[in-house]
Amino acid sequence: MLNSRDKIWHIKDDPPSALWLAGKVGISKILASLLMNRNVTSADSAKSFLSPRLGALSDPFLIKDMDRAVELITDFILKKKSITVYGDYDADGLTATSLLFDFFSRLEIPISFYIPHRLEEGYSLNEKAIRKIAGGSTGIIITVDCGISSQSEIALAQELGMEVIVTDHHQLPASFVPICPTINPLRPDSSFPFKELSGVGLAFYLTIAIRSNLREIGFFQNKSEPDLRSYLDLVAIGTVADIVPLIEENRILVKSGLNVLKETRRPGIKELLRVSGIKNNQVITTYDIAFKLAPRLNAIGRLGPATKAVHLLTTDDEVEASAIATQMDSLNAQRQEIQNGIFSECRERIDKIKDLERRRTIVLFNPQWHRGVVGIVASKIVEEYYRPTLILNVERGLLKGSGRSIDGFNLYKALSDLSDLLKQFGGHDHAAGVTLESKDIEEFCDRFEELASKRIDTKDMTPKIEVDTKLGLEYITPQILKEIEILPPFGYKNPEPIFWAGPLKVVSSKVVGKDHLKLKIKENGITFDCIAFGKGAFHSLEGKSVDILFQIETNTWQGIESIQLVIVDLRIN
């Protein structure tokens, strides 16, 4: 098991151009360094980063096939023909489905949605679902957050007389050939400048393009236009939940979306905030979405049908919203219990692996494990053992599950290289789903380990903490804190800044709350209070010398605000 001493502190050099950027933009050298560490290197990009505006979003028609999709959808709108949105059971897919369902509802056209059952149907389009949808009045299926690898299912829908439009942000399969309008920024023939939208972000761009086209043809002369800004609460939730980079387009969407989320008009989101313990009118952060809202949205699909989540996000009925949100909260607690049981069993099995230190990968399977939570368990195992991990269950002779990876090892590419052994797979660099036959598991494990051994150096098997810069206590001022507070929303590719200071003298040390370490540290006559969550085992450090990695925050106690350092890691000198 890893501990603080196992982590590498990767302290970045101060960018040589930071002083130049600071002068150009009118900011401190420290803030300029933080921006450059996040690949914001020009004066224009820095200004855009620091002041993200919805007006700076790129033209949706730059995405390949957007024009074809909008033309087809517009025809259905004008003729009031029925549309089905085909979504996914995770927070990104659920918010994307809800967004389009609400948007088309407000245009007063026949609209329905379909969310596949995670455990019974699996991810993306499937034949049974296509035939069921075809049995109704639907003339067109619009996928969100799925469909890029569903060629045979798309062909079936077309044979059954339905049109299909795919909106998906996942990696294109090697054999990709568009057989219907396919909106994906990753297409090599797409000129859209940003490639890493979430599924709900892509759905939002589709609504921008549709509304623009409807404006041009005078559709809104006698009716009100849908307010697209009101959908940004859904966009923020789905984008943060899907762990896409919070830069460029995503930064604009989430920054604006957090403001909309705070004042959301949706009863379902209000109730979701309530059961998550987020009070009315408090500042909502990406942390709140990632660790409070998204897990509850995901829980309903992990343990059963996710349809109710769309009802929650689209209903105007406060009573219905309260009931569904309460159920979600209960299911989330149940999910945590199941997850913790599987994780404990996995740890026991991993700790019995004799050559664990030498191995690069972990693959575990058990027919009793709940497939709805194996992805979260894989994430926890990667966090603790820092190896690419696959956790699978067994269903009717097939192994199905999820994988998570470490920095520097592209899991999707690895599975692509092993595709001859797989029935199905898909995902991203760091996360993927996989299906294979039980008879192939031994060969798969051997080849997966062999492949990882070639691509993962031993030094890559120790997690790194990326440190922005050294920052002496004398430079920690209210002004620096104010500048840091411009940087959110924090997330993937825009992490909260981490600083290094030391050696520091520990003036006082005590354990507070549930195993948290509270320190007062001193350097050159300057002192600060620090909190180190979950590090009570380091007590007592009084009188000792330490180096710390820390973040800076405002602490409010009895109405008085002060600067507090949140210790990320520490080393005793």
Question: Per-residue pLDDT tens for 210-232?
Answer: 999 999 999 999 889 999 999 99
Burial 213-223 (b: 16+ CB within 10 A, else e): bbeeeebeeee
Q: In degrees, to the nearest 5, what angle opens at C-alpha 497 toward C-alphas 495 and 498?
A: 115
**Residue 319, token pair as written in the block:** 């009573």
Q: Check whether residue 137 and residue 178 sit in a common domain.
A: yes
Whether the Cβ atoms of residue 543 and residue 506 lie closer than 8 Å to each other: yes
Does residue 17 fall inside a structural domain? no
For the segment 221-249, the average pLDDT, to the nearest whole number, is 96
Q: Check whether residue 400 and residue 495 sit in a common domain.
A: no
How many domains does the chain divide into?
3
For the segment 414-418, the average pLDDT, to the nearest whole number, is 95
- Identify the band that residue 4 occupies on the pLDDT scale cut at 50, 70 and 90: very low
Residue ranges making up the domain that contains 484: 468-572
For the segment 444-448, the average pLDDT, to the nearest whole number, is 96
CATH number at residue 501: 2.40.50.460
Is the pLDDT assigned to residue 287 strictly greater than 80?
A: yes
Does residue 102 fall inside a structural domain? yes
Closest to 25 (Cα-Cα) out of 7, 42, 3: 42
Domain end: 443, 461, 479, which one?
461
Does residue 307 fall inside a structural domain? yes
Q: Check whether residue 538 and residue 510 sit in a common domain.
A: yes
Q: Please write the tens of the pLDDT for every residue from 341-364.
A: 999 999 999 999 988 888 999 999
Q: Check whether residue 151 and residue 227 sit in a common domain.
A: yes
Q: Check whether residue 293 and residue 257 sit in a common domain.
A: yes
Q: Check whether residue 500 and residue 449 sit in a common domain.
A: no
CATH number at residue 433: 3.10.310.30
Q: Check whether residue 70 and residue 206 sit in a common domain.
A: yes
Closest to 163 (Cα-Cα) out of 145, 181, 177, 176: 181
Beta-carbon contacts of residue 518 (< 8 Å; ≥ 6 apart): 509, 510, 511, 512, 529, 530, 531, 532
Does residue 40 fall inside a structural domain? no
Q: Check whether residue 102 and residue 248 sit in a common domain.
A: yes
